[in-house]
Amino acid sequence: MFRILLADDEGIMLESLKKIITTSFGSECDIRCVKTGRGVVEMAESFHPDMIEIMPGVMPKIIKSLRGSTSIPLIAGGLIADKEDVMGALLAGASAVSTSRQDVWEM
């Protein structure tokens, strides 16, 4: 079972992504959601997720701060639009990025 922690300040985004993952993978994933950076750190300590997706992914200061608090892989997702966004997230400490922009997939 995969343990996934989703972080976004918009509840509708969290619920939408949770539904997509649950529809695709069913009971293979245990998903928790938080709306704040502090919530990420607290939930990571108790839940021990396999990965954390931070949204939006164009927040290098937040990613850097979280990277300093946890060694759990961080995926930056949402609003990743170009190479500058990808590099900003990776240089801040994200392990990977996710985006629906197919032109970014091919970089």
Residue 57, pLDDT score:
94
Which positions ≥6 away from 82 have C-beta within 8 Å? 104
Residue 5, pLDDT score:
97
Cβ atoms 7, 63 nearer than 8 A: no
Beta strands in the chain (DSSP E): 2-7, 29-34, 51-54, 74-77, 96-98
pLDDT in tens, the chain (107 residues): 999 999 999 999 999 999 999 999 999 999 999 999 899 999 999 999 999 999 999 999 999 999 999 999 999 999 999 999 999 999 999 999 999 999 999 88
Cβ atoms 6, 53 nearer than 8 A: yes
Residue 35, pLDDT score:
96
State the pTM of this model: 0.90
